[in-house]
Copies of this chain bind each other. A is one copy, B any other.
Amino acid sequence: MAEAISNLSRKEQVIRKAAELFKEKGYSAASMRDLAQKLGIEAASLYSHIKSKEEILRTLCFDMATDFRASLSSVEKQNVSAREKLRLGIIGHVQVMARDLTASAVFMNEHRHLSQPYLRDFLLLRINYINRFKTIIEEGISSGDFRKDIDTKLAVMTLFSSLNWMPAWFSPDSTIEPEKLGQQLADMLINGLKQNV
């Protein structure tokens, strides 16, 4: 029953290495023998730490989802304008991503390999998250923060596309801090939405 304490460290090593591998080769193309080799052990030994290959994917995807949702929740609580909420939401999203770019890449690109019912659950979480951003944009349109002639669906999809491809090109050794990057991204996107007074 010490599993919850001491096993975690080794189990986490396995999961982190798996994240790297899944990001690199994709979930399907990454074999358990590849993963084992990266850790210097035999494939069968992995099963002392994890229940299945998919369990790793599940952990990676749902843990990231939890972080994203927590970040957005704290933004929603604040009593600020829609424009500021959107800005903070974007910065928060970028910060969560930057905290683990590898897991973020997996979260984004490999979640479709989840089996049911996990895939369904994941997609529900995801659409909920997106809709909450959409609500912020709609708020901003009502309040006059944003232009009235924008297609909110297109806007929110553009927003997410921009955010989600970050792990693909943002290098962790980059000099720019995540907050600054989020700032810039928000600036670029929001000024595209802003009313031309």
Binding site for B on A (CB under 8 A): 26-29, 109, 112-113, 150-151, 154-155, 157-158, 160-166, 169, 181, 184-185, 188-193, 196
Contact = CB atoms under 8 A, between A and B. Distances in A.
A148 to B, nearest CB: 13
Given A28-B26, A164-B165, A165-B164, A188 B158 contact: yes
Contacts of A28: 26, 28-29
Nearest to A153: B169
A197 to B, nearest CB: 10
A158 to B, nearest CB: 5
Contacts of A169: 157
Contacts of A113: 26, 29
Nearest to A159: B162
